[in-house]
Amino acid sequence: MATTTQFAEQDPGLDEETRSLEAEKASLLSDIAVLKEKIARYERKSTDVLTREVEELRSERAALEEEASGYEEDSGYYIPATALARLEIQA
């Protein structure tokens, strides 16, 4: 440690450069933490949006299945669930 202190005393520019590098390091660490938090927020938001979309699609499917079963009862035709699934995929 004494050798480092001696060297720094001999070259004042080295001490200034060290402080500058330490400040840049602290700034970069802070920026990285902010960016990681921002990414985590976007990931949570993305998951929330997908969850909401899936729930809406489930509701739509349930409504269509209910509507189709009403037609089955009225017409006497039976529409298998696999056929309904194929119709959903095509739509």
Would you give the distance in Å from CA 16 to the centre of its chain? Answer: 41
Crossing angle of helices 81-90/12-75, nearest 10°?
130
Q: What is the number of other CB atoms lying within 10 angstroms of the CB of residue 14?
A: 13
Query: What residue spans define the domains of the chain?
Result: 2-90
Q: What are the residue ranges in the chain where pLDDT is below 50?
A: none
Cα maximum dimension of the chain = 99
Residue type, 33: A
Entry pTM: 0.49
Secondary structure E strands in the chain: none
pLDDT of residue 2: 55
Question: Rounded distance, CA 60 to CA 84, Å?
Answer: 13
pLDDT of residue 70: 79
Question: Rounded distance, CA 39 to CA 57, Å?
Answer: 27
